[in-house]
Chain A
């Protein structure tokens, strides 16, 4: 069964600090997809990134970067020079290919608070 663990329930940083959100997953499938979603205080869920299991290249998008390591089953998310607008709950999610990718399993989420 697929499982996603986000061990950090809450993180508090001061603006301009770098912060890394951890995500560890479990799967028996060799083909799977990993996602990060952001939920700002307004409540909507915003897609940030998708990564498939065959693509271990790290990705950078502005102040955001993602580190995918299959050896440790981790897909960590780093925000560089954090801003108050980054305050949100962030979810990591996993979908396995062997069930036709129909089920999406989320981690418990990490609440990030960026203080001015």
Chain B
């Protein structure tokens, strides 16, 4: 089954404790991206990747890191999480760029930073 898989689905942690949210897709998509969803703000793009070893900032990259060492995986790293990063996070992928392709989204990861 074609899917984007995020883990964990839920995480409660404390300020400053490094965490990684994994994202994996099995559709051989070149494009992957991360979004955060906050009430009233919709989804905002954090980072995106056009292909292996190619990543770029979205609208709200501060406090986040990503890597794309393999085509299927695009982990989101919070080196020193803070409470303002409490949010619902979505990973997405598409065959090519975000423009002319519908995005396939993961089921989301709800992060709470205390």
Contacts and interface: CB of A to CB of B under 8 A. Distances in A.
Contacts, number: 71
B45 A44 contact: no
A32 B99 CA distance: 7
Contacts of B99: 32-33, 95-97, 100-102, 104
Given A103-B45, A103-B48, A50 B105 contact: no
Interface stretch (B19-27, B36-44, B63-71, B73-81): B36-44
Contact of B56 (A33, A52, A101, A102): A102
A72 B43 CA distance: 24
A97 B56 CA distance: 16
Interface residues of B, number: 28
A116 interface: no
26 contacts: A4-B42, A6-B42, A43-B108, A44-B108, A45-B90, A45-B103, A45-B105, A47-B103, A93-B43, A95-B97, A95-B100, A97-B99, A100-B97, A101-B97, A101-B98, A101-B100, A102-B31, A102-B97, A102-B98, A103-B48, A104-B33, A104-B103, A105-B45, A108-B40, A108-B42, A109-B42
